[in-house]
């Protein structure tokens, strides 16, 4: 008999498409799209079909590890690990203060429940500083969003007449449901248009009606010119602006005198093409816009985030079918915490320390430096700028603990490494829930029991909180009894308990796991935290939750448990968008003084960031058909581009004497590496690209360690960052490319 098909999800990008899997002998033997998933509806890309390379590979950890004095590691039992780690963090807290304990991570793609529980441990210690991968990408956009309307927006591309992608190649990076299906539908419809702003002729750009092929790093001039055309040619929706927007007149004044021809020349885009694209935006019935890392990790990134949002705000493409939308959230990925870091004074946006500032907050004798660190389901020693500085910083910590499935580059710097169950061995979920008007949530059931010696993160954090001794069992007993009586009794007892016990209120995920968790189906105790999120969601969006078919928070939680392919948790009306604006008057506020200052400063020439010594703009982290996030350590999943080639233009190849397949050395201010060359017409002269997901070591079948491709952050610098958000300029690294000597001799 064939194995049963079980519902789960892909974990390789933020879409987390639903898949169904057959499991045989602990392998994911067959994988296909799940037609019952409310968002992906059976869609998946090629990468999901290779997920057994994540689940079963020789990099898995199966025992807690403790570092010896000589730097080697020894296996220890879980009880010893929990006791020693808890005592170590208590020592840091009692000696220096809990705020000297820094947390990085919270879950990779689709691995978010552990992050919900680690928060209880951090609060018990008094830790308050944190960061994760979002601080490398999205905090500049979050800063702008907070000023404009107070939340995150997403375009409704499925219905948009005009879709605009800025530094974004959704054919490869996906990021919204059924991306390739939607892109094909747009390309085939003569009444719809696709606009791409990107220096690279990406797969999406090849499908576009308008490709604004900007010079690397000049997106802000292109976007300012587009907005200026809307103003100067009276293409703005004056009625919408008058009713729903504050500050438009001030912004209009800043755009009125921009020379379109001048800005077009500066960004390298034909002026008439730029005008035509702006007119298409200004006359469309609906417009959706998506920015991504191509601009978010480049110069003027925060200003570019601001300017691209003006395109849909000026044209009134909000709260309408096919437009841009605020959306409900089961759990917010960002917090409202702001401020400055304790050592360098770097901006804290949405609760996150800029990743580029992390080494500087450790490598100092400042009394407020971070002295200990927790890393959960992340690999910052590999993924943050300037890997050398990160390694030095992490090695200087008094205590570092990593929770992960593998002995990563970061784990090898830790004092303790705790082996987590894989994403398919535990209850898991993603909080990348961005859709509108119908938003979905997918609680994934375990396909397999945890590999012996591993534990799900909720259990790890619960054991650590227990070891701190912050709550007595007597405090939890009434809730355990109430949980046995049903959801209604538990809800009443829980609200009374947290209202009367401040410690319990600070440790809500831990309390839920300990009391509600045991009543949930086998293997699903980690879902206990979702009960709390369901209650909050029902209170925050009561009408939308009821429209989705859930009477209250308990009904929503039961629906989440009972639907293995996911469930729609909110169903909005389009006019709900205005209520989701957090400003008291529920209007968009476009006048942001800092952004207007930078907009006016664009009248100066774009700065020349490359030099005669480093004349090439290197973009690192390009998404390709056979690249994925760093959880795919086993390189054998790749069918093409096994070494992660350095892509260069035809013109640069001719100038530098490069041929396809040769080896070249690429050098930046931070370091150098060798790469295989791929010559392509998709790159502009003076622009080169390396992919993401490479430079990870792996032990092959022959027992030898292999390290395919280049680790991108061996070439990046923490000093190259956005002035507002501190996000790195990974897409604009000055570099030099030279043919390797051996290849040069062979070529001669």
CA angle 97, 100, 102 (to 5 degrees): 140
Percent of the chain residues past pLDDT 70, beyond the cut: 99
| Neighbouring-strand partners of residue 20 | 7, 32
Mean pLDDT of 360-374: 98
pLDDT the model gives residue 700: 85
Three-class SS state of 108: coil
**44-88 pLDDT tens trace:** 998 999 999 999 988 999 999 999 999 999 999 999 999 999 999
H or E element at residue 531: helix 528-540
**DSSP-assigned states of every residue in 152-172:** -EEE-TTT-SEEEEES--HHH
For the chain, helix (H) and strand (E) counts, in that order, are 28, 30
Across 11-96, where does the E strand assignment appear? 18-24, 27-33, 65-67, 73-75
Rounded to two decimals, what is the model's pTM? 0.96
Decide: 415 and 73 in contact? Cβ < 8 Å: no
Which of these, 114, 29, 55, 72, lies nearest to 403 by C-alpha position?
Answer: 114
Q: If pLDDT is split at 50, 70 and 90, which confidence band does 746 have?
A: low
Q: If pLDDT is split at 50, 70 and 90, which confidence band does 337 have?
A: confident
Decide: 456 and 526 in contact? Cβ < 8 Å: yes
Three-class SS state of 542: helix
What is the phi/psi pair of residue 677, to 5°? -95, 135
Longest Cα separation, the chain: 82
Q: How far apart are CA 561 and CA 12, in angstroms?
A: 23
Which of these, 733, 680, 614, lies nearest to 298 by C-alpha position?
Answer: 733
Preceding amide of 437 cis, omega within 30: yes
Percent of the chain residues past pLDDT 90, beyond the cut: 94
Helix 219-232 to helix 260-267 angle (10° resolution) is: 160
pLDDT the model gives residue 436: 96
* DSSP secondary structure code for residue 554 in this structure: H
pLDDT exceeds 90 at position 159: yes
CB proximity list for 668: less than 8 A, separation 6 or greater:
614, 618, 715, 716, 717, 733, 734, 735, 736
Three-class SS state of 649: coil
pLDDT exceeds 80 at position 747: no
Q: How far apart are CA 420 and CA 448, in angstroms?
A: 14
Q: If pLDDT is split at 50, 70 and 90, which confidence band does 748 have?
A: very low
Mean pLDDT of 288-310: 97
Q: How far apart are CA 269 and CA 113, in angstroms?
A: 45
CB proximity list for 262: less than 8 A, separation 6 or greater:
none
Q: Taking the C-alpha atoms of 667, 672, 676 and 681 in order, what is their torsion angle to the nearest 10 degrees? A: -30
What is the phi/psi pair of residue 243, to 5°? -90, -30
pLDDT exceeds 70 at position 261: yes
Q: How far apart are CA 387 and CA 392, in angstroms?
A: 9
Q: Pairing relation of β-strands 153-155 and 324-326?
A: antiparallel
Three-class SS state of 622: strand
> What domains can be seen in the chain, in order of their start residue?
5-56 (3.30.200.210), 65-128+371-430+438-571 (3.40.50.740), 139-328 (3.40.228.10), 610-739 (2.40.40.20)
Burial of 586 (0-12, 13-18, 19+ CB in 10 A): middle
**Phi-psi bin for 677: left (phi > 0), alpha (psi -120 to 50), beta?**
beta
pLDDT exceeds 70 at position 492: yes
The gap from C-alpha 326 to its chain's centroid, in whole angstroms, comes to 18
CB proximity list for 654: less than 8 A, separation 6 or greater:
none
pLDDT exceeds 70 at position 126: yes
| Neighbouring-strand partners of residue 92 | none
**Least reliable range by pLDDT among 159-168, 265-274, 635-644:** 635-644
What is the phi/psi pair of residue 424, to 5°? -100, 5
Which is more confidently placed, 743 or 28?
28
Which of these, 196, 203, 267, 199, lies nearest to 685 by C-alpha position?
Answer: 199
Distances in whole angstroms, Cα of residue 689 to Cα of each of 93, 471, 607, 655: 44, 52, 21, 17
Distances in whole angstroms, Cα of residue 522 to Cα of each of 405, 448, 510, 528, 532: 22, 12, 18, 12, 19
pLDDT the model gives residue 738: 98
Q: 34-54 b/e with 16+ CB inside 10 Å = b?
A: beebbbbebbbbebbbbbbbb
**DSSP-assigned states of every residue in 448-501:** SPPPTT-B-HHHHHHHHHHHHT-S-HHHHHHHHHHHHH-HHHHHHHHHHHHHH-
Decide: 294 and 301 in contact? Cβ < 8 Å: no
**648-658 pLDDT tens trace:** 999 999 999 99
Count of C-beta atoms within a 10 Å radius of residue 584 = 6
Count of C-beta atoms within a 10 Å radius of residue 306 = 30
Q: How far apart are CA 605 and CA 266, in angstroms?
A: 8
Burial of 585 (0-12, 13-18, 19+ CB in 10 A): exposed
**What value does the mean pLDDT of the chain take?**
96
Distances in whole angstroms, Cα of residue 67 to Cα of each of 91, 467, 696: 18, 21, 21
pLDDT the model gives residue 1: 61
Count of C-beta atoms within a 10 Å radius of residue 448 = 17
Q: How far apart are CA 563 and CA 18, in angstroms?
A: 12
| Neighbouring-strand partners of residue 403 | 376, 418
């Amino acid at each position: 008999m064939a194995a049963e098909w079980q519902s789960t999800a892909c974990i390789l990008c933020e879409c987390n498409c639903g898949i169904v899997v057959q499991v045989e002998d602990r392998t994911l033997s067959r994988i296909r799209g799940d037609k019952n998933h409310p968002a992906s509806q059976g869609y998946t890309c090629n990468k999901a079909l290779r997920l057994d390379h994540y689940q079963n590979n020789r990099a898995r950890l199966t025992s807690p590890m403790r570092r010896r004095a000589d730097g080697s590691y020894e296996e220890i039992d879980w009880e010893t690990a929990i006791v020693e780690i808890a005592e170590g963090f208590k020592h840091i807290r009692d000696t220096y203060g809990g705020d000297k304990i820094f947390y990085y991570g919270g879950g990779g793609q689709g691995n978010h429940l552990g992050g919900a529980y680690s928060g209880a441990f951090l609060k018990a210690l008094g830790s308050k500083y944190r960061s994760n991968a979002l601080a490398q990408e999205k905090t500049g956009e979050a800063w702008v969003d907070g000023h404009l309307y107070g939340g995150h927006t997403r375009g409704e591309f499925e219905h948009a007449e005009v879709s605009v992608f800025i530094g974004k190649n959704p054919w490869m990076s996906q990021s919204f449901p059924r991306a390739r299906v939607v892109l094909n539908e747009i390309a085939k419809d003569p009444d719809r248009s696709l606009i791409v702003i990107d220096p690279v002729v990406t797969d999406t750009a090849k499908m576009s009606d308008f490709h604004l092929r900007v010079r690397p790093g000049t997106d802000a001039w292109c976007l300012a010119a587009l907005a200026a055309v809307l103003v100067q040619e009276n293409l703005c929706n004056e009625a919408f602006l008058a009713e729903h927007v504050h500050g438009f007149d001030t912004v209009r004044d800043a755009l009125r005198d921009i020379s379109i021809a001048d800005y077009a020349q500066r960004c390298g885009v034909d002026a008439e093409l730029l005008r035509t694209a702006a007119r298409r935006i200004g006359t469309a019935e609906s417009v959706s816009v998506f920015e991504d890392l191509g601009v978010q990790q480049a110069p003027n990134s925060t200003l570019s985030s601001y300017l691209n949002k003006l395109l849909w705000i000026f044209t009134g493409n909000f709260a309408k079918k096919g437009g841009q939308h605020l959306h409900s959230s089961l759990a917010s990925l960002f917090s409202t915490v702001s401020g400055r870091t304790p050592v360098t004074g770097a901006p804290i946006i949405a609760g996150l320390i800029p990743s580029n500032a992390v080494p500087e907050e450790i490598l100092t004798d400042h009394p407020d430096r971070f002295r200990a660190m927790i890393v959960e389901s992340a690999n910052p020693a590999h993924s943050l700028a300037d890997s050398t500085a990160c390694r030095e910083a992490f090695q200087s910590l008094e205590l570092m603990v990593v929770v992960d499935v593998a002995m990563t580059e970061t784990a090898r710097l830790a004092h303790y490494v705790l082996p987590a169950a894989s994403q398919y061995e535990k209850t898991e979920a993603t909080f990348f829930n961005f859709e509108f008007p119908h938003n979905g949530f997918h609680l994934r059931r375990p396909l397999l029991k945890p590999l012996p010696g591993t534990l799900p993160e909720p259990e790890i954090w619960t054991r650590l909180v227990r070891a701190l001794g912050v709550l007595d069992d007597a405090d939890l007993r009434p809730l355990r009894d109430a949980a046995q009586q049903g959801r209604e009794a538990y809800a009443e007892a829980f609200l009374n308990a947290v209202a009367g016990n401040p410690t319990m209120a600070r440790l809500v995920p831990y309390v839920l796991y300990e009391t509600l968790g045991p009543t949930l189906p086998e293997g699903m105790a980690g879902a206990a935290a979702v009960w709390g999120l369901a209650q909050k969601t029902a209170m925050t969006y009561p009408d939308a939750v009821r429209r989705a078919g859930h009477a209250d928070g308990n009904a929503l939680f039961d629906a989440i448990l009972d639907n293995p392919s996911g469930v729609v948790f909110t169903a909005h009306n389009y006019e709900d968008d205005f209520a989701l604006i957090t400003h008291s008057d529920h209007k968009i506020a476009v006048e942001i003084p800092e952004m207007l200052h930078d907009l006016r400063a664009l009248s100066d020439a774009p700065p020349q960031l490359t030099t005669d010594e480093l004349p090439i703009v290197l973009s690192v982290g390009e998404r390709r058909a056979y690249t994925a996030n760093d959880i795919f350590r086993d390189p054998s999943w790749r069918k093409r581009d096994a070494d992660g080639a350095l892509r260069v233009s035809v013109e640069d190849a001719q100038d530098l004497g490069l041929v396809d397949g040769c080896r070249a050395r690429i050098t930046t201010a931070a370091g150098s590496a060798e790469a295989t060359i791929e010559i392509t017409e998709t790159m502009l002269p003076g622009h080169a690209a390396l992919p993401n997901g490479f430079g990870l070591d792996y032990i092959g079948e022959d027992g030898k360690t292999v390290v395919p491709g280049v680790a991108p952050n061996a070439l990046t610098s923490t000093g190259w960052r956005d002035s507002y958000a501190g996000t790195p300029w990974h897409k604009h690294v000055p570099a030099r490319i030279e043919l390797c000597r051996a290849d040069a001799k062979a070529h001669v």
